């Protein structure tokens, strides 16, 4: 009847957030999940789209258990020239869910937001899958944002000693404060 609408696949197995309420993931399962999400993000990045709000609530599982990334409502469309990026937010305004933001988001450094911003968030998801909590949590949003920009995360093996060292290394590399020090792409 002339009204815009959208139809989406029903993700009947819920969200990663729901799964993490009952238990952490085994290291192998966490690695497979993050690899799948990284490939999905690389697909978006190859089309000049940065998600900017990846979090457990935005990872949905299909009836077959396949993870899907949802909620591209805060996505940023990049072009070859950063000045041409489509960004519906005001300059300097932090966008995203605080505990999953990359340092450049938390500080409002909009010009630094790009694929490596999503790589940081993959690190936060891996950290939470392995330890049961995000890397930075505080009682106030301001303190959480300050921790993200100024504090190194506690290594996951300090919380879960049995974690493989290589998986911890990957996680911490994703969580580097400077985008240039993170993996260059989600691939």
CA-to-CA distance for 21 and 97, rounded, in angstroms? 18
Strand partners, 15: 60
Q: How far is CA 164 from CA 27, 126, 152, 158, 172, in A?
A: 8, 13, 20, 12, 13
Question: Does residue 107 contact residue 85 with C-beta atoms inside 8 Å?
Answer: no
Residue in the block written with tokens 């993200």: 148
Q: Is 71 a catalytic residue?
A: no
Instruction: Considering the candidates 1, 28, 53, 71, report the single residue annotated as catalytic.
Output: 53
What are the residue numbers of the active site?
53
């Amino acid at each position: 009847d002339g009204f815009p609408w959208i139809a989406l696949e029903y993700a009947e197995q819920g969200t990663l957030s729901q799964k993490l309420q009952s238990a952490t993931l085994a290291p192998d399962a966490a690695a497979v999940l993050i690899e799948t999400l990284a490939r999905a993000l690389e697909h978006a990045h190859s089309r000049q789209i940065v998600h900017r709000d990846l979090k457990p609530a935005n990872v949905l599982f299909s009836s077959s258990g396949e993870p899907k990334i949802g909620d591209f409502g805060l996505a940023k469309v990049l072009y070859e020239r950063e000045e041409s990026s489509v960004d519906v937010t005001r300059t300097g305004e932090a966008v995203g869910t605080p505990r999953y933001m990359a340092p450049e988001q938390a500080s409002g450094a909009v010009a630094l937001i790009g694929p490596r911003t999503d790589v940081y968030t993959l690190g936060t998801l891996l950290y939470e899958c392995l330890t049961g909590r995000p890397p930075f949590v505080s009682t106030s949003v301001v303190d959480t944002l300050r921790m993200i920009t100024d504090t190194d995360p506690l290594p996951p093996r300090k919380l879960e000693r049995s974690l493989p060292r290589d998986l911890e290394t990957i996680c911490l590399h994703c969580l580097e404060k400077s985008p240039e020090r993170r993996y260059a792409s989600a691939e």
